[in-house]
Homo-oligomer: A and B are copies of this chain.
Amino acid sequence: MDNLGLITPLLRSNTAAIVTNVTVAPLYLERFAAALAAAGVQCVQVVLPDGEAYKNWETLNSVYDRLLEAHCDRQTTIIALGGGVVGDIAGFAAATYQRGVSFIQVPTTLLAQVDASVGGKTGINHPLGKNMIGAFHQPLAVLADTSTLRSLPMRELRAGLAEVIKHSLIRDVVLFEWLEANLEKLLAREDAALVHAVLRCCEIKAEIVAADERETGERALLNFGHTFGHAIENAKGYGVWLHGEAVAAGMALAVDLSRRLGGLTAADAARVVELIARAGLPTAVRGVSPQQFTALMGLDKKAAAGRPRFIVLDRLGAASIRDDVSSGDLNDTLATAA
């Protein structure tokens, strides 16, 4: 964040709008805005309330208000400084302000650094569904400063590790084995380990998204564990489990399903569950019936024309999309969560 020469050449004018929230602002806003000012960039500052509950139209509109009041034009670059929610709102504001302005992601959580900030998905929630309103709008750059992870609550660091594990499972067995060997370094926030994990996850995600930006195929692999995870978040009530925690338990279910389908050996399935557990993340969920799961997953927007699709592992480091999962196998997997 002190090396702004990485992003200032990308700005289309000397005006930027930093969008952040009340939690991140006291930690990094002054330092970041001062560094931009020193580089000759005038900054409008927009400080949002913190939390998924505010990822809605009212908050988005407050961003528009500030941009218009400050006479920001089409050359203004919006900079998202914060976690996934800030990035989603700021990115969607950038996608729609005056029909689209540039934006840059400066993620300050592990989840955002390894996942949310890359790939151009932006949006807000609607009372009838999460992320129902949004746009694909790619950032000019993602500036991930791992030093910001020192201020991250431990629970959020662990939640971010769920997406790191996910990236390894769907694409990179070498990363998976590196995680088995180095997980404690990440939990101890050793910078070299964090840099390695963040960089490798960004590479994996960028590669997948570049091949299928609009999620007509391969990009859906990134939803590994998420179909179950969304159902868990929903069943438990949003905000009770962190997204990464629900994804972790969802991955454990997806791993169980993958084993039933013959993609994973029992030994490899156990390795995954052990790694998730070592990260301090849930490997199981209790009290959600198969009926509840089925209903909640049927509402998932990723369900294609009535035929449920699942992302499963073919082996460690390789995933595929399957629409031929038998209800028997599915129910056996779901029964483990009952």
Interface set of A (CB-CB < 8 Å, partner B):
13, 57, 61, 64-65, 68-69, 73-75, 95-100, 121-123, 126, 128-129, 131-136, 214, 301, 303, 305
Q: Are B99 and A13 in contact (CB under 8 A)?
A: no
Kindly state the separation between the CA atoms of A13 and B305 in the bound complex, as whole angstroms.
9
Q: Are A96 and B134 in contact (CB under 8 A)?
A: yes
Q: Are B64 and A135 in contact (CB under 8 A)?
A: no
Report which of B13, B97, B98, B135 forms a contact with A96, defined as CB distance below 8 A.
Answer: B135
Kindly state the separation between the CA atoms of A57 and B73 in the bound complex, as whole angstroms.
21
Q: Are B68 and A98 in contact (CB under 8 A)?
A: no
> A134 — which chain B residues lie within 8 A by C-beta?
96, 98-99
Q: Are A74 and B301 in contact (CB under 8 A)?
A: yes
Q: Are A75 and B305 in contact (CB under 8 A)?
A: yes
Q: Are B126 and A64 in contact (CB under 8 A)?
A: yes
Report which of B97, B121, B126 forms a contact with A99, defined as CB distance below 8 A.
Answer: B121
By beta carbon, the residue of chain B nearest A99 is B134
Q: 12 A-B contacts, Cβ less than 8 Å apart? A: A64-B126, A64-B128, A73-B305, A96-B134, A97-B133, A98-B132, A98-B134, A99-B121, A99-B131, A99-B134, A99-B135, A100-B136
Q: Are A132 and B97 in contact (CB under 8 A)?
A: yes
> A129 — which chain B residues lie within 8 A by C-beta?
68
> A96 — which chain B residues lie within 8 A by C-beta?
96, 123, 133-135
A126 touching B68 in the complex, CB below 8 Å, given contacts A135-B96, A135-B135: yes
Q: Are A135 and B100 in contact (CB under 8 A)?
A: yes
Q: Are B98 and A214 in contact (CB under 8 A)?
A: no
Kindly state the separation between the CA atoms of A134 and B97 in the bound complex, as whole angstroms.
6
By beta carbon, the residue of chain B nearest A134 is B99
Q: Name the distance in Å between A95's Cβ and chain B's nearest Cβ.
A: 6
Indicate the member of A75, A96, A126 with the most B CB atoms within 10 Å: A96
> A100 — which chain B residues lie within 8 A by C-beta?
135-136, 214
Q: Name the distance in Å between A1's Cβ and chain B's nearest Cβ.
A: 28
